[in-house]
Structures are given as structure tokens and as C-alpha cells.
């Protein structure tokens, strides 16, 4: 059953008998336990309201001799859909949905809107008619067995009272409809509209035609109206209806007119500054609870009238809100405003809600409100709050609706708080808060993480024939590796260091391999290492890093032959006379002898289209050799290629085409990726003729200076799992930094010419000022951009030939005053080192020019460059262009610009073979542990074992089958298999210090659970140096339940959460013997908790204090890691500020729960399926 989420101060009681049945606890009936459980299950499956369950259970108790037959009748009628109560419940749900649809309807064309409202009136009449009819049947069926004042109670209220109020919902929610329909306040069937339709003889009004009906239906409605009036004779209004007129008889906290007047000096209350920005300030003010009503009255008298009209709440609701809503606080705005705020209790995520706003009267109060909201959002973000939206809750939105829309708030929904209607407006917040000091965002948190790191054989499909042949040539005659004939035939063509990027040596100490080559190399063997490594770092000749049409997948855009480059085309394509559709693309790099190839057409060999992974796993070497023999026609490619960025790595314990009689290791890594900085440039214009390369595709390295060898140095199959997917984030989020000029292709030349035209003459001659060259640079140089520095412009790009460290080149300066050159360079240096963390060096070239028959460098410009801290490098004479230049450089200062990262190049390939003479062999050894703690009984580990292993060690067959049936899935959990430690860290959704796993592990199985639960009403209290969570249980809240445990001779308490599926439970541990008893047999204890949950009853305790705790348990055993974080802990972005009264009589009513205790979390679905809670642990 759902409970009313608001306080119950206005709840209407319906007599002592009804109160007695409300406290009736449903317990098993001994005559037929099996049938009783079946009846309970049927009730649960069909969500039969709790009121009927208790009423029918009472009937069974009154007729014990017929109990078995009564239970059978109930089960059969509900299961076969012949039950009166099931139909009544379905009608109730249908009617509520109809009302919700009415609330969502927005007025458009008046004619269409009238038809829509007319249909709603018709539907609501029909649903209400059937509901009242079945209500009478339900009453009669129960009264036939036991005379009683039965009440159809939904959400803790007589639903007929609800009908009495919400049948006026249409005219209140859409008041304009009163002009077109004749509504009557006491008419739940809209008979007045039926009468209005009868008077429309000429059928002038189309919206009334639907409401003409026979007399027998009218008589039926009159009869049911009389029945309805008798049933609600005890009705008392609770002021539901139109928000603009509701709560008229209550004391409001939003407008003047409180019942109790009290002189208040607002300057007497202590305050603390929690946020400042320019002339704006938020203060947390400590207001006593007893003075709250008078304080709000004082603020209301000064408030903007529109705000007074928009926020009218009963003072009881305001007090309840500040006492028991999560993180509720009162915040003062400078000295002239006040806001009441909290976390929204009804929202599944994290949403802040402004309940009340006070601003001192001024003409431009709307601008002030906008400022308040913007600073409130900034304050929460600065506090590290992970909220995703901000809501404003109005009792009446008519006066403020336009203002809220202007402030980018949108209508969210109508909702009922404490039995009065409010309107919610919401603004979504782009909040990137990920890591901060705050751990817990709800009072109850359970986070669990389980990792199993495994060593795997390589999953890469590669052709390394040439690398192996080079290894053969390097080793020469040896007794540890025997190579196949194809390798022996290739080896004579490969002398030592023949292949590009190769190192080979015999290393005496294995530890020296790691130290010399900076790789994660470890070996249990101490003999010398025959070590061959290929380490290739290159850039493509012409490329840019792009996102294709707003996709989340980054590409490298490989540019076809630039017009000004007279050398070999940047992309060649190979074709075959045997296969006209197949194409191999050869893509130039900055090394003239190294090209990258990709095979992009699947029609080269139709046999691998169905399953390329399986096909190439055994055929890649043959396929590559045959393809490069057949594809002998070479021509220039005129298409630009879009190559998806990818990364892949793998290890092998064996080597193809060899027989190794020694200890062998292999490690391969390949990445084709380049970080795109969206702050520096925009997407290149995509041409429909461009070629998109889609996985799976073959990619490899071709070395062109190898004699008598026509095959790639290395080949690999790239599949979807290797492709990088990421979202693009702007780096330049600092408004003070310069911005690049966004140029459309058609306007580039005109803009550049205009900038050059306005440039000082000496600067023109000292830097490149040829528009053709600058346009070429913008189109083809890496990350080339025009930067607007306010006092001038600069064109910069990345030197793709500088591999070891990233070098930016300043190609041109365009400034109209020579005196501005040095300040411009200073600003540009700061910009580059800030915007690009991997930038290590900036280079600028000053051209020499003819003056009086000699080549000279302008001294003023030279001094300006040196003033900006550039240092002289060399004087370069370019024989081709006949230009002499002085080159200056500036290295990154780690003191001024510390955020330096390693330079990223577009192609990185590393592969090594290591062989050692030894009888030991390299073997995979993985061991999955069953992790547990003596103080914790958790079901999470069993589910992880089921995910990874398919079974649970030492588990009973019942548990095993149940786990397999749900595939180990738990609520709020996610299981992933991850390939790299970096990906593992990125997938973990909360802050945690991961253990360092050995580098030999290449796969990580991860199961994580994050359960964050709100408690309907709670607050944090401090008492005698201890912090408690106070949970109320009065006014019908029904938050605290208890059950007796006779084995432990202790009470088990259950605390309801906002999620009806979850309960917090705890057992007080009053002595050490009890703790030892639980430690010795935890499984038995959690089973008892599960059984006790069925027999729980509402506790008599009005208030319970539970001492707050947080317990973190990390367990790390080699490959296995378990992390548990369980907390009952309220943390705040804005500290609570209301001072509650210290009432000693109040303290006597409180039941305090102190540590130690046995505590855990129970999910009702998991309990039903597995007869145990999610977790139980000793908290000491």
C-alpha cells in the first residue's frame, strides 16, 4: 500500500471501529497455511488495497469454520477477474489516470479544446458511475458476512471523500470552461451538463451532443448520487481544488494574517555566510522553531505581492517541511530576501526545490529573482552537489507563471502536499559534479563493488609474419626457437634493425628491460632476455580529429592530396584486376617510407562477411599475403577518409609459425587516436563523397623500402569493441580566455585579407602574410586556428613532425600597432598552455626581408619576441623558398603552467617479444576467491559468483537454481567485463581508491551496486556528542515496524523508506554474547530477519533515534577485490538552520538506538525470492 507522502495533520478519521481495523495485523491462519499464503500472494500480485485485505481478513476471523472456503472464493474470484474488489480497484486507478490527463491538457484552439474537455467530462462521469456502483456491491458483499462501516481507503483516505473534492477538478483547473459548461458543486456525475445538453434541441453546440442520454441512465445516476451522499455524511472539507483559491481558511505562511502576532527583531538571530559573489550574499540564519511563524509574517509584510500570492502554505506544512524534509533550510538573501528550500522528497533523483521566496518590494523584482536563482545554482555547484534540477513549488502559479517561463522554468506537474494542491515548475541543470568531498546524498546508502581481475590470452587477431621473420634474423642460429619454413625464407632479407622502429638486444638482467624501455615487463625467470621491440610513434601526414555529424564516435579525417603539395599523394589506393570492387588505401605518414593501410571494402573476399572474427582468426596471414600479391594497380585517391579512432592491446603466450622451447612473453599495443580540442576549431565540412570506414576493417603498417618483400610489417583486424566512443567537452570554459574565430569556407579568404590589410607593415614583412599560404595552413595543418586576442589576431598550428613533445607554431601575427606585439604574444602563450595541457613548446619564426640590398631582421620585432620570453634557437635558410628566418622557442614553465600531459600522436604501435632459456613456461593462472567478512552477511558476492562462474561455491541447490533463473541480477546493480584499468576506473560510478592490480591482468569483471534511499520523514539531531537520525512514527506516517525474534530474544525493527520495496532493519546488540552468536551463524540470523518481516506490526514508538554510522569494508586478495560502503548518514550541501526546542518531556518519548547493532537492508522482492535480505552487518 502506498502512504500519503505529506504529513497527516489534516487527516479525517472515520470512527473508532475503523481505527481498530487499521491496527489489525494480518497473521497466518493455522487451518490452511498454504491457502492463506496463496491468498496473500494473489492480493500482492493484483495490488489489492490494504483496507480490503484487513476487512476480508476480519471476515475470515469472524467465520473461522468457513475460513478455508472463504479464502478459496477470494482466490478464485480475483484470479479469474470476477472479483468486485479487483474491478473497484481498477476503476479507481482509471479514474485517477483520467484526472491526471485532465491536468496535463493545455488549451490551444478553443473548438478542439472544448471537444477534449467534453470527452473528459464524459469519461469521468462513466468511470465515477461504475466506481460508485461497484463500491455499493463491495460494501454489500462484505456486509452480507459481517456488518461494518467499511471504507474504501486509498492513500490513507476515504476515496469517496476524494471524489467529493476532485469532481470539481475540471472547472477549477480550467476555469474558462465555466463559460461553456454548467457545473454544479454537489454534482459528481455532471448531471447539470446532461440537463444543459437536453436544452440544446437544435444541436447548436457540438461539445454538448455527447452528453444526451436516456432517462434510465439519468435515474441510475440520481440513485447512485443518493447512495454517495449517505456514504459521505461524515465528510469534512480539506480544501482541495484550484490552487488559486485553496487553503483559504488556513493560516498561511506566505501572506500576512497569522493567528498569533509577535514582535520580532530579525537582527537578533545569528547568521553565517555560506556564499558570496560580488555584491551578492547568502546567509544561513538560525531561527528558533517557536518564532518561525512570527518571523515569516514579518518577511511576508515586506514581500512582493506577486510572491505572496504565489506561495501560500499552511504554517503546519512549513513547520513539517523544515523539521523533516531532507536538507531543509532557511537561507537569507543579503538583508532583503529569504528562501525556504529542501531536497524534493517525491523526486527519484536529486532535485532541489524552492518552497517559498521572499523579496523586499522593488520595481525590478523579476530581475532580482533571476539573480537569486542563478546564484543559488552556483552555490550548490560550488558545494559539490550532484543535483540535476531545480524546482519551484507554487500554491498558485497565476501571478508568477510568466516570470518563471522567462527564467527558463517549465511546467512539471500538479501534486498534492499535505492534502493541498501545488504546482511544480522545473529547470534542468547541466551539472558535471563527479568527485567531491561529500560521500552521501541520501540518509541511507549502500554501495557495493566486486572486481575479479584475470589474465587472458590475446584477443587480438593479427598478422605478425614480418615481425617474427625479423626476430628470426636477429636471433640467428639458436636452440630455443624453431621457426617454420615461411619465416626462414623471409629472414635472409631482413638484416638487423631492418624494420622501422625496431630495437633488438640480449639483456643480461631481466629487470633492465623494464628500466631501459619503460614497459611493464616482469618475469619469474632470471636468465638473460632475447628482447626485440617495435616502438612506432608517427603522425599521419594530413589529418584532423573530428566528430562525424554530432556522433559520439571520434574520427581521424585523413585528407586527400593537398593542392600545393607537389610530392606523392597523401592517400593512394591499390586495386586488383581480379576484383574491381576491392580497394586498399595507403595513407602517408610524416615518414616517407612508412604508410598505414586499411582494407575498407568487404567485397574483397565474400567468405568473411558473415563472421570476420572467426574467419580471420585462422586465415589472416594467408589473406594478407594473397591480397597484397593481387592488388598491384596503384593510383591517387581523391576521397577524404574518415577513420574511426581506436585502441587495442593484447598479450600472447605463444607465437605463430614457431615452436618455442623457452619462457616467452609478448605484448602488443596499437592506438590510432588524437585528442580533439573543440575550443580550437570547428568540424570540417563533410563532403558526401568522403569515405567513412566502418568496422570491422583491416589496418596495418607498410614499409616501402624493403627489397623483395611485398607485405605489411604488421596487420590487425579492428572490430567494434576496439572503437573509441566519447562525448565532446569544451576545454575553453573560462570566459576570460580568447576565442578562435569561426570561419566558413567561403569567407576565409576575405576575412584573412581584411586582417592582413589592417596589419602593421613591419609585422607583415616579418611574418607570413600570403593569403594563399595561410588558407593552405588552415585547411591542412594540424589544429590550425585563427585566435582573436582583442588587440590582434594570430594563426597557430601544431607541428605534426615533432613527435616526442607537442610543439605549437605561431605562423602569422596580425596586429595594427607594433607596440601591441609583445602583449599579444604574452596573451597567446597563456592561451596555448592553458587550453592544451599536452603543449610543451611554442615556436615562432621571424622572417628576414630586403632592406637597402641586405636581408635584415626587424630589431623592434626581435626585442618584442624576446620580451615575451622566447629564446633564440637558430637561423634557417630555406633554399626552396629563398627565405631566411630566425626561429625562437619557448618551453612550458611547470611553475606557471603545471598541467602538462604526455604528448599524444595519432599512431602509436608497440610490440615486443621476450625469450628466456628456461624449463618454466608462461601459463595463465586465475583464481576466483569467495570473499566474505566475519562481520558481514551479504548476498552480493553470491550474485557475482553466479555472473562470473555460473554457480556459487558451497551453495544449496535451491539458491543455485534461483540465482541462475535471474542470472545473478540484483536491483540497482550492473555487471560489466572491462579490458583496461583505465576503462575500469571510468566505469565505477562513485569515488573509491582502487587497489593496484598487476599489469599482467587484461580483463576485469565488475559488479557494482548503488542504492541510495530517502526516508519519508527524518532529520539529523545531535545529543550528548552523538549524532542521531530522528524518524517520526505519528500522525499516520507508519514508518517504524517491529517484530519479535525469540531465538535471539530481541526485537527486530524495520524502517520504511521512500521506495516501498526497501526497508532498513536493525537489532540492538546489548551484550558481547549476542555479537558472538551472530558472528558464528550470520546466515541463520539473516534468515530469521526475513521470516520476521512477514510478521511485523506497526511499532508503538512515536519517535526513534538511531545513532548514525558509516562502515566501509575493503577486502583485497590478489585478483579479487570486494568493497562495501553502508551508511546511515545525513550530509548537507546547506546545513540545517532551524533551532528546535529542547523539550525534556519530548525526550522521554524518544526510543534511542545506540551502537553496536546488527543492521542491514531488505528488498522485498529479493526476500520473497531468496528468503534473505540484501545485507546484514555488525555496526560497532
pLDDT digits (tens, 9 = 90+) for 1076-1086: 888 888 888 88
Longest distance between any two alpha carbons in the chain, whole Å: 125
Residue 818 shares a structural domain with residue 689: no
160 with 289, same domain?
A: no
- Domain assignment of residue 1002, yes or no: no
Structural domain count, the chain? 5
In the predicted structure, residue 82 carries a pLDDT above the cut 70: yes
My answer on whether 500 and 608 are in the same domain is yes
Residue 203 and residue 295 in one domain: no
Range in 77-86, 429-438, 735-744 with the lowest mean pLDDT: 429-438
Q: Are residue 694 and residue 776 in the same domain, yes or no?
A: no
Average the pLDDT over 148-164 and give the result.
85
Is the pLDDT confidence value at 14 over 70? no
Distance between CA 447 and CA 449 in Å, rounded?
7
Least confident of 339-343, 706-710, 1065-1069, 1090-1094: 706-710
pLDDT, mean of residues 734-752: 79
| Residue 289 within a domain | yes
Whether 725 is covered by a domain: the verdict is no
Question: Whole-angstrom Cα distance, residue 911 to residue 651?
Answer: 9
Residues 544 and 672 in one domain: yes
Q: Is the pLDDT of residue 829 over 90?
A: yes
Classify residue 954 as left (phi > 0), alpha (psi -120 to 50) or beta.
Answer: left
**Rounded CA separation 414/409 (Å):** 15
What integer is the mean pLDDT of 146-163? 84
Which of 883, 900, 917 delimits the end of a domain? 900
Could you tell me the end-to-end alpha-carbon distance of the chain, in angstroms, rounded to an integer?
34
Q: Which pLDDT score is estimated for 732? A: 47
Helix (H) or strand (E) holding 87: helix 84-104
Least reliable range by pLDDT among 19-33, 756-770, 1009-1023, 1161-1175? 19-33
- Domain with 821, as residue range(s), is 739-835+839-900
24 falls within a domain: yes
Same domain, 359 and 277: yes
**Better-scored residue on pLDDT, 1140 or 428:** 428
Q: What is the pLDDT of residue 11?
A: 28
pLDDT of residue 156: 76
Which of the listed residues 900, 919, 934 is the one where a domain comes to its end? Answer: 900
Q: Do 640 and 707 sit in the same domain of this protein? A: yes
CATH of the domain at 321: 3.40.630.30
Query: Does position 186 have pLDDT exceeding 90, yes or no?
Result: no
Q: Are residues 477 and 434 in the same domain?
A: no
Shared-domain flag, residues 358 and 311: yes
Residue 855 has what pLDDT?
A: 84
Measure the CA–CA gap between 143 and 989, rounded to whole angstroms.
56
**Is 999 contained in some domain?**
no
pLDDT at residue 321 in the model: 87
| Distance of alpha carbon 688 from the chain centroid | 35
Distance CA 979, CA 993 (A): 19
Residues whose CB is less than 8 angstroms from the CB of residue 705 and which lie 6 or more positions away in sequence, other chains included: 593
Report pLDDT digits (tens) over 36-52: 888 998 998 888 998 89
Residue 7 domain-assigned (yes or no): no
Mean pLDDT check: name the lowest of 178-192, 670-684, 1012-1026.
670-684
Closest to 480 in 3D by CA, of 662, 327, 343, 633? 662
Together in a domain, 184 and 314:
no
In a domain, 945, yes or no: no
Domain boundary at 847, 873, 900, which?
Answer: 900
Is 11 within a domain? no
* Distance from chain centroid for Cα 1082: 35
pLDDT band at 3 (very low <50, low <70, confident <90, very high): very low
Question: What is the reported pTM?
Answer: 0.60
CA trace torsion 1063, 1069, 1070, 1073 (10° rounding): 150
Q: Both 430 and 545 in a single domain?
A: no
pLDDT band at 244 (very low <50, low <70, confident <90, very high): very low
Q: What is the pLDDT of residue 787?
A: 92
Amino acid at each position: 500500500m502506498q502512504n500519503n507522502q505529506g504529513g497527516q495533520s489534516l487527516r479525517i478519521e472515520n470512527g473508532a471501529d475503523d481505527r481498530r481495523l487499521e491496527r489489525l495485523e494480518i497473521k497466518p491462519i493455522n487451518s490452511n497455511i498454504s491457502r492463506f499464503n496463496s491468498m496473500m500472494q494473489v492480493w500482492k500480485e493484483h495490488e489489492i488495497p490494504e483496507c480490503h485485505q484487513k476487512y476480508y481478513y476480519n471476515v475470515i476471523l469472524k467465520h473461522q469454520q468457513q475460513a478455508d472456503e472463504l479464502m478459496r472464493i477470494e482466490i478464485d474470484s480475483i484470479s479469474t477477474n470476477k472479483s468486485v474488489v479487483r474491478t473497484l480497484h481498477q476503476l479507481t486507478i482509471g479514474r485517477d489516470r483520467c484526472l491526471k490527463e485532465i491536468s496535463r491538457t493545455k488549451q490551444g484552439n478553443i473548438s478542439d479544446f472544448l471537444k477534449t474537455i467534453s470527452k473528459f467530462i464524459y469519461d469521468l462521469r462513466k468511470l465515477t458511475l461504475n466506481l460508485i456502483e461497484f463500491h455499493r456491491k463491495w460494501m454489500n458483499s462484505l456486509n452480507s458476512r459481517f456488518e461494518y462501516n467499511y471504507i474504501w481507503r486509498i492513500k490513507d483516505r476515504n476515496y469517496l471523500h476524494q471524489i467529493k473534492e476532485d469532481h470539481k477538478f475540471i472547472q477549477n483547473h480550467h476555469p474558462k470552461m465555466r463559460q461553456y459548461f454548467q457545473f454544479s458543486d454537489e454534482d459528481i456525475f455532471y448531471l447539470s451538463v446532461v440537463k444543459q445538453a437536453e436544452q440544446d434541441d437544435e444541436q447548436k453546440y457540438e461539445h454538448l451532443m455527447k452528453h444526451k442520454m436516456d432517462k434510465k441512465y439519468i435515474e441510475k445516476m440520481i440513485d447512485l448520487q443518493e447512495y454517495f451522499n449517505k456514504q459521505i455524511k461524515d465528510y469534512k472539507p480539506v480544501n482541495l481544488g484550484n490552487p488559486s483559491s485553496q487553503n483559504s481558511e488556513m493560516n498561511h505562511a506566505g501572506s500576512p494574517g497569522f493567528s498569533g502576532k509577535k514582535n520580532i527583531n530579525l537582527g537578533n538571530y545569528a547568521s553565517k555566510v555560506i556564499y558570496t559573489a560580488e555584491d551578492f550574499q547568502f546567509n544561513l540564519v538560525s531561527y528558533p522553531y517557536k518564532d518561525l511563524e512570527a518571523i515569516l509574517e514579518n518577511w511576508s509584510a515586506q514581500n512582493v505581492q506577486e510572491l505572496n500570492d504565489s506561495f501560500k502554505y499552511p504554517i503546519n506544512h512549513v513547520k513539517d517541511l523544515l523539521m523533516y524534509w531532507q536538507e531543509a533550510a532557511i537561507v537569507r538573501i543579503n538583508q532583503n530576501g529569504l528562501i525556504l528550500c529542501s531536497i524534493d522528497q517525491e523526486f527519484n533523483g536529486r532535485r532541489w526545490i524552492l518552497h517559498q521566496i521572499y523579496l523586499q518590494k522593488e520595481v525590478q523584482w523579476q530581475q532580482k529573482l533571476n539573480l537569486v536563482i542563478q546564484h543559488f545554482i552556483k552555490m550548490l555547484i560550488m558545494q559539490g552537489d550532484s543535483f540535476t534540477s531545480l524546482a519551484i513549488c507554487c500554491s498558485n502559479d497565476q501571478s508568477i507563471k510568466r516570470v518563471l517561463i522567462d527564467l527558463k522554468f517549465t511546467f512539471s506537474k500538479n501534486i498534492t502536499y499535505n492534502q493541498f494542491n501545488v504546482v511544480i515548475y522545473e529547470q534542468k541543470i547541466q551539472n558535471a559534479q563527479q568527485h567531491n568531498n561529500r560521500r552521501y546524498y541520501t540518509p541511507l546508502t549502500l554501495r557495493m563493488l566486486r572486481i575479479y581481475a584475470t589474465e587472458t590470452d590475446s584477443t587480438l587477431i593479427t598478422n605478425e609474419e614480418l615481425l617474427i621473420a625479423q626476430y628470426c634474423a636477429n636471433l640467428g642460429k639458436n636452440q630455443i626457437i624453431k621457426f617454420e619454413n615461411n619465416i626462414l625464407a623471409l629472414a635472409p632479407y631482413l638484416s638487423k634493425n631492418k624494420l622501422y622502429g625496431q630495437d633488438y638486444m640480449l639483456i643480461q638482467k631481466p629487470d633492465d628491460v623494464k628500466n631501459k624501455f619503460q614497459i611493464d615487463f616482469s618475469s619469474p625467470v632470471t636468465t638473460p632476455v632475447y628482447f626485440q621491440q617495435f616502438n612506432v610513434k608517427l603522425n599521419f601526414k594530413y589529418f584532423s580529429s573530428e566528430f562525424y555529424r554530432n556522433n559520439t564516435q571520434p574520427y581521424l579525417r585523413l585528407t586527400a592530396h593537398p593542392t600545393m603539395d607537389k610530392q606523392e599523394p597523401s592517400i593512394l589506393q591499390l586495386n586488383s584486376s581480379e576484383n574491381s570492387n576491392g580497394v586498399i588505401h595507403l595513407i602517408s605518414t610524416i615518414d616517407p617510407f612508412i604508410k598505414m593501410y586499411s582494407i575498407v571494402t568487404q567485397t574483397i573476399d565474400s567468405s568473411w562477411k558473415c563472421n570476420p572474427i572467426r574467419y580471420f582468426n585462422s586465415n589472416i596471414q594467408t589473406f594478407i599475403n594473397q591480397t597484397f600479391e593481387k592488388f598491384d594497380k596503384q593510383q591517387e585517391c581523391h576521397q577524404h577518409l574518415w577513420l574511426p579512432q581506436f585502441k587495442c592491446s593484447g598479450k600472447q603466450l605463444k607465437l605463430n609459425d614457431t615452436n618455442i622451447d623457452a619462457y616467452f612473453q609478448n605484448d602488443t599495443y596499437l592506438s590510432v587516436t588524437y585528442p580533439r580540442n573543440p575550443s580550437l576549431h570547428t568540424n570540417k565540412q563533410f563532403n558526401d563523397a568522403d569515405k567513412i570506414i566502418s568496422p570491422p576493417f583491416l589496418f596495418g603498417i607498410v614499409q616501402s623500402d624493403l627489397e623483395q618483400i611485398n607485405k605489411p610489417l604488421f596487420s590487425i583486424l579492428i572490430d567494434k569493441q576496439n572503437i573509441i566512443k566519447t562525448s565532446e567537452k569544451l576545454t575553453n570554459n573560462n570566459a576570460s580566455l580568447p576565442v578562435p574565430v569561426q570561419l566558413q569556407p567561403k569567407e576565409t579568404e576575405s576575412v584573412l585579407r581584411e586582417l592582413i590589410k589592417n596589419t602593421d607593415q613591419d609585422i607583415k614583412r616579418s611574418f607570413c602574410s600570403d593569403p594563399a599560404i595561410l588558407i593552405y595552413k588552415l585547411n591542412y595543418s594540424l589544429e590550425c586556428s585563427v585566435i582573436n586576442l582583442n588587440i590582434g589576431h594570430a594563426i597557430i598550428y601544431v607541428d605534426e613532425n615533432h613527435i616526442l613533445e607537442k610543439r605549437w607554431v605561431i605562423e602569422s601575427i596580425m596586429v595594427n600597432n607594433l607596440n601591441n606585439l609583445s602583449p599579444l604574444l604574452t596573451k597567446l602563450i597563456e592561451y596555448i598552455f592553458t587550453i592544451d595541457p599536452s603543449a610543451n613548446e611554442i615556436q615562432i619564426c621571424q622572417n628576414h626581408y630586403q632592406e637597402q640590398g641586405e636581408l635584415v631582421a626587424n630589431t623592434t620585432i626581435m626585442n618584442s619576441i624576446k620580451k615575451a620570453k622566447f629564446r633564440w634557437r637558430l637561423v634557417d635558410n630555406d633554399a626552396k623558398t629563398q627565405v631566411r628566418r630566425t626561429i625562437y622557442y619557448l618551453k612550458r614553465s611547470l611553475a606557471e603552467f603545471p598541467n602538462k600531459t604526455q604528448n599524444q600522436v595519432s599512431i602509436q604501435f608497440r610490440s615486443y617479444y621476450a625469450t628466456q632459456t628456461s624449463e618454466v613456461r608462461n601459463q595463465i593462472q586465475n583464481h576466483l576467491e569467495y570473499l566474505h567478512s566475519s562481520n558481514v552477511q551479504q548476498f552480493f558476492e553470491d550474485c557475482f559468483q553466479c555472473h562470473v562462474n555460473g554457480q556459487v561455491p558451497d551453495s544449496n541447490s535451491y539458491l543455485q537454481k534461483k540465482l541462475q533463473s535471474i542470472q545473478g541480477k540484483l536491483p540497482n546493480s550492473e555487471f560489466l567485463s572491462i579490458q583496461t584499468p583505465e576503462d575500469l576506473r571510468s566505469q565505477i560510478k562513485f569515488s573509491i581508491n582502487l587497489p593496484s592490480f598487476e599489469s599482467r591482468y587484461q580483463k576485469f569483471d565488475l559488479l557494482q551496486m548503488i542504492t541510495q534511499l530517502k526516508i519519508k520523514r527524518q532529520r539529523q539531531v545531535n545529543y550528548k556528542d552523538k549524532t542521531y537520525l530522528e524518524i517520526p512514527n505519528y500522525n499516520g506516517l507508519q514508518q517504524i515496524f517491529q517484530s519479535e525474534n525469540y531465538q535471539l530474544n530481541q526485537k527486530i525493527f524495520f524502517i520504511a523508506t521512500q521506495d516501498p520495496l526497501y526497508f532498513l532493519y536493525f537489532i540492538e546488540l546489548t551484550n558481547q554474547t549476542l555479537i558472538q552468536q551472530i558472528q558464528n551463524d550470520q546466515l541463520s540470523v539473516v534468515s530469521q530477519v526475513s521470516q520476521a518481516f512477514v510478521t511485523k506490526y506497526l511499532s508503538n514508538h512515536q519517535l526513534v533515534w538511531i545513532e548514525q554510522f558509516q562502515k566501509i569494508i575493503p577486502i583485497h586478495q590478489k585478483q579479487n577485490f570486494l568493497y562495501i560502503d553502508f551508511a546511515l548518514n545525513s550530509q548537507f550541501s546547506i546545513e540545517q538552520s532551524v533551532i528546535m526546542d529542547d523539550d525534556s518531556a519530548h525526550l522521554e518519548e524518544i526510543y534511542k538506538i545506540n551502537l553496536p547493532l546488527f543492521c542491514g537492508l531488505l528488498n522485498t522482492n529479493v526476500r520473497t525470492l531468496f528468503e534473505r535480505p540484501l545485507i546484514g552487518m555488525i555496526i560497532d
